[in-house]
Copies of this chain bind each other. A is one copy, B any other.
Amino acid sequence: MFHYFTPQRYYNTLGVHPPALTLADGDTVLTTCVDAWGQDASGERVTQGPNPMTGPFFVAGAHPGDTLAVSLDRIAPNRDWGWVRTPLAYNTVDPDFARTLPERDRAVVRWQVDVAAGVAMLDSPQPRLGALTLPLSPMIGCFGVAPAGGEAISTATSGPHGGNMDYNGFVSGVTVYFPVFVEGALFHIGDGHALQGDGEISGTGVEISMEVQFTVRVIRHKTIGWPRGENADFIFTVGNARPLDQALQHATTEMARWLRDDYGLDAHEVGILMGQAARYDLGNFFDPAYTMVCKIPRRYLPK
């Protein structure tokens, strides 16, 4: 079934909030997300940050211990401008260098976003960068399910339930898998970026409101530990933690489990394949929990 959903309210935590809509296994939703500050397609600030979530969506038939698959069918900016904070975040550089950086509070610039042309361009040319123009790669910064144990987790951070991972690989065409911790999974989505560098090291992508279409599917009796995903070329796993070392360990462990449990590799094969073919992406190195992604090319997976 296909749902058009217009959000009436937004949440700043992922938790057990009243469902905004109930979906069946296989349903598709077309909806919108406001930007990280709560500004909608018209630029009006309709709610408050950080990262207001559309949803949650109750997925009938999803029970704790299951996995929720979410296919990102289409992610598209629904207005023609975004914004970024400019200075590097203080935690992303050496402590003495952080002392040389500008104050972050008011240091925000706009980008023009041209979906048809597929580019974003600095709204005001800069002294040396000029009207820097970068290719669009619209992505979802924050999405996931209600966490375990009755927690409600801020959309500023992330965990096994997903959340504010700020990984620029969460683009159209990707399917993401989340562990289900509560009845109905309670899927939340928001925080669109028109594009973003690795690590979100200035603390923002090109922040923008979005039109989003996604399809949910329940995988019964399949339990995973961390978000997983796949695109045309890779399967991947996501670890969210601080320090970055631990995020990497979570992602690596989750991939090793996947290869062992679903592809039947023994521990030596896991090490051979991952040791020589794994690729890692840096999600974010800004939020309270950092994000690291471990990828394996599909073409090397056993049939």
Contact = CB atoms under 8 A, between A and B. Distances in A.
Interface of A: 11-13, 15, 84-88, 90-102, 107, 109, 122, 126-130, 132, 134, 149-154, 156, 195-206, 241-246, 248-250, 252-253, 256-257, 263-282, 285, 290, 300, 302
B93 A278 contact: no
A272 B84 CA distance: 8
Which of A84, A127, A268 has its CB near the most chain B CB atoms (within 10 A)?
Answer: A268
A278 B197 CA distance: 5
Contact of A244 (B11, B245, B267): B245
A99 B263 CA distance: 21
Given A93-B253, A201-B252, A267-B100, A276 B151 contact: no
The copy count of this chain in the complex is 4
A246 B242 CA distance: 9
Contacts of A290: 245
B151 A302 contact: no
Contacts of A12: 149-150
Contacts of A204: 275
A87 B271 contact: yes
A264 B150 CA distance: 43
A274 B134 contact: no
A179 to B, nearest CB: 15
Contacts of A263: 128
Contacts of A93: 249, 252-253, 256
